[in-house]
Amino acid sequence: MTYSDTQPRGALCLHLSGQPGPHLLLGGHKYIRHLAAELGNEYTFQAGKNEAPAKVELIGAIEDLRALAKECTVFLVGHNAEPDTVGLLKRLEILDEIAWLVDDNTYNLL
């Protein structure tokens, strides 16, 4: 994976642009973690917690960011990355959404 100075948050732009591209779940663990970091940064800018750099345009709406984050969490939980899941949901202030991710495969009832 490469990072670009000319297109900040490029992975996020790709997924929110509506253009056909790689399906989210085909990206792999590193790609999803990178996308989750971009989601967190964008949410922070949009929620007004940090000022966005002057040259950076805001991408999508907060609800679009949250919907994409939920897709990422499905992948992360399925690949034993629960800490990443909790971090992403917490950063986007939707930690209560974690309840729908828990099932017999992710929580062993004794």
pLDDT tens-place string over residues 78-108: 888 889 999 999 999 999 988 888 777 766 6
Mean pLDDT of the chain: 79
Torsion, Cα of 80, 64, 50, 11 (10° steps): 60
The reply to whether 89 falls in a domain is yes
Number of domains in the chain: 1
Instruction: Let me know: does 79 contact 66? Beta carbons within 8 Å.
Output: no
The reply to whether 5 falls in a domain is no
99: its two tokens? 């309840």
How far apart are the C-alpha atoms of 39 and 29, rounded to whole Å? 15
Structural domain boundaries enclosing 43: 10-101
The reply to whether 87 falls in a domain is yes
Q: What is the pTM of this model?
A: 0.78
